[in-house]
Amino acid sequence: MLTRAIALAAALVSFTDRWSPRIVTTVNDYDVRVAKVEGEHLWHTHDHTDEFFLVLDGELHIALREPAGSGERTVVLPKGSVFTVPRGTEHKPYAPVPSEILVLEPTGTSTVGDQHEAVPDHVDATTGHALN
């Protein structure tokens, strides 16, 4: 457990990788992760957990596949917006411009979920990296 304050701006300038989150702290059994994102992630599902997003800078779109084949919709999150993807919901984040996000997930949760399509080279399949 960290015992010092973490400036999110400083954490975000400490790395350049896209779609490769850094763990800034933990809260109980949850990681608080920050990431730089741009372009598409991949379709994936977290079977056992919700996924919380906060847009720190830029804009994030999250495409959602509705249950029972009732179609797709996209949630647009401008800077300062939050959204929670419910567990079991297939989703695909996309950032049309370079953006910075904060994600809250149980420790050990994979960035590509429990079920996913092929992982492209620009996406880091990880449970989060330590902040340097």
Per-residue pLDDT of 57-106, as tens digits, reads 999 999 999 777 778 999 999 999 999 999 999 999 999 999 999 999 99
Please report, for residues 5, 7, 10, 92, 114, the alpha-carbon distance to residue 111 in angstroms, rounded to integers and kept in the order given.
Answer: 25, 23, 22, 11, 9
The mean pLDDT of the chain is 92
Band of residue 118 on the pLDDT scale cut at 50, 70, 90: confident
Q: What pTM value is reported for the model?
A: 0.91
Does the pLDDT of residue 50 top 70, yes or no? yes
